[in-house]
Amino acid sequence: MRNTAKLTTAVLAAGALTFGLTACGSGKSSSSSADYSGPLVVAASPTPHAEILNFVKKNLAKKAGLDLEVKEFTDYITPNTATEDGSVDANYFQNQPYLDDFNNKRGTHIVPVVTVHLEPLGLYSHKVKKADALKSGATIAVPNDAVNEARALKLLAANGLITLKDGVGNEATPQDITKNPKHLQFKEVEAAQTPRSLDDVDAAVVNGNYAISAGLKPAKDALLLESAKNNPYANFLAVKKGNEKDPRVKKLAKLLTSPEVKKFIEDKYQGSVIPSF
């Protein structure tokens, strides 16, 4: 903004007042001035998150008085940054350990609203039919983000392929492996690329949503699959802190945990996606 020396004090004061009123009226982060009249825009991974949201949109939202818009993203970063900067109102794609790590590293303020489902992480292969058939020195692709890499290694450790240091948590990396009887090698790739890596490696640990998108059936095709019992990796609807009371968000949270959505998940995904409510 440019000011000239000829502007009077009165004009400057009026301009400052106008600017102040405009700023107060336009901020989405202010609960007193938030505009909840438009559609609720939710960022989501295509499968199964966007599919579940689109089921809600087509079958439940109108009756509940909810105008829902679904935006699909294929990565695990943009949905959170878009929620933080207000480009979208909410997101649905992630679990608590991933969100905690993301908020800590990027200074974002995303919080969970309601937990909806679990996508079991699995080990897949185009070359062997059983995990114990992996040869010595076999290469396994794992997601390269901190939480999903640790999750992948814990899946392998739970099934006896490797041993991790005692007490290692969501920060585990291949350097934390203490026993590796098959001398497995690890190739770190972006989570979305793990299914595509199956032709180049002996096996890959793939997130459930990417497995389904690639035509894999976790309940049938995985050599190893996470247990749903006491699993901390369930996926939830999330918003920027302060927007939890948005009435549109509350409506969506209720619909996402409805009997209709539970039946949709069970019927469509046949155990590859598991309701968490």
- pLDDT tens track for 86-95: 999 999 999 9
Domains and CATH numbers, the chain: 37-120+232-275 (3.40.190.10), 122-225 (3.40.190.10)
Structure token digits, residue 97 = 């350990």
**Distance in angstroms (rounded) separating the CA atoms of residues 219 and 207:** 13
**Distance in angstroms (rounded) separating the CA atoms of residues 248 and 251:** 5
**Distance in angstroms (rounded) separating the CA atoms of residues 94 and 208:** 11
**Distance in angstroms (rounded) separating the CA atoms of residues 90 and 36:** 13
**Distance in angstroms (rounded) separating the CA atoms of residues 239 and 28:** 12
Inter-residue contact 230 to 240 (CB < 8 Å): no
Q: What single string gives the DSSP state of each residue in 198-245? A: GGTSSEEEE-HHHHHHTT--HHHH-SEE---TT-TT-EEEEEETT-TT
Helices 247-256, 259-269: crossing angle, 10 deg rounding: 50
Residue 236 has what pLDDT?
A: 98
**Cα within 13 Å of Cα(80), Cβ side:** 23
**Distance in angstroms (rounded) separating the CA atoms of residues 203 and 127:** 7
Structure token digits, residue 259 = 């009997």
Q: What single string gives the DSSP state of each residue in 119-170? A: ---EEE-SS-SSGGGPPTT-EEEEE-SHHHHHHHHHHHHHTTS-EEPTT--T
195: Cα separation from own chain's centroid? 17
Would the pTM of this model clear 0.85, i.e. be above it? no
3-state helix, strand, coil in the chain (%, to 5): 40, 20, 40
Tell me which residues of the chain have a pLDDT lower than 50.
1-32
Question: pLDDT tens for residues 56-85?
Answer: 999 999 999 999 999 999 999 999 999 999
Residue 35 has what pLDDT?
A: 75
Element of type H or E holding 24: helix 9-26
Handedness of CA 234, 235, 239, 245 (dihedral sign): negative
Residue 170 has what pLDDT?
A: 85
Residue 21 has what pLDDT?
A: 35
Residue 258 has what pLDDT?
A: 98
